[in-house]
Amino acid sequence: MKLLLDFLPILLFFGAYKLWGIYAGTAVLMAATCVQMAVIYFIDKKLSTMHKATLGLILIFGALTLALQDDRFIKWKPTVLYAAMALALAVAQWGYRKNVLKAMLGAQIALPDFAWLRLSVAWIVYCLFMAALNGYVAAYYSTDAWADFKLWGYVFPVVFIVAQGFYVARHLIEPAESSQAHPGAPE
């Protein structure tokens, strides 16, 4: 369900774009993202920083696209988002010596520190790759090609997340049995 919820605004954008053009697609994307965030907030009772950043950038870049009738703004939004994510992860990791992924997921997943570092580096590289790829497509291809890339480009995050899952599975630290962790505890 979560994957469908994440994919729905892009799917609606693509449909509206194909039917009515980039400006209608942009308006639909903005509305669908607002609804998506409302549903996430209803389910989780909060929005993550990533959700807030995504919503803010879609609304800002979408509003600029519609107000100025210039599709470059909405086309460059993913590049800005991915570059900002890479920068934030890198500054946290090497500037503040804080692993954001471990801080967010460490309570649910037990991994050795080297694995958290590798995951952080993988996310930084992935975000830089996606920023560059979107920027390249936005700059050198037509809006039609960019819209197709937005839809079919979802292969990249799916492959990355699956690969990340395999990596995490290899390095999971199994919790000790409760009786071993607390000698003398009643069984």
The confidence band for 106, taking pLDDT boundaries of 50, 70 and 90, is: confident
Between the alpha carbon of residue 177 and those of residues 26, 40, 167, 181, the distances in Å are 52, 35, 24, 6
Of residues 173 and 119, more confidently modeled: 119
Q: pLDDT by residue (tens digit) across 46-100?
A: 998 889 999 999 999 999 999 999 999 999 999 999 999 999 999 999 999 999 9
Burial per residue of 65-93, b for 16 or more beta-carbon CB atoms within 10 angstroms, e otherwise: bbeeeebebbbbbbbbbbbebbebbbebb
pLDDT on residue 151: 86
- CA 185 – CA 183 distance, rounded (Å): 6
pTM, two decimal places: 0.84
CB contact set of 71 (below 8 Å; sequence gap of 6+) = 22, 23, 26, 65, 143
Q: pLDDT by residue (tens digit) across 128-163?
A: 999 999 999 999 999 999 999 988 888 999 899 999
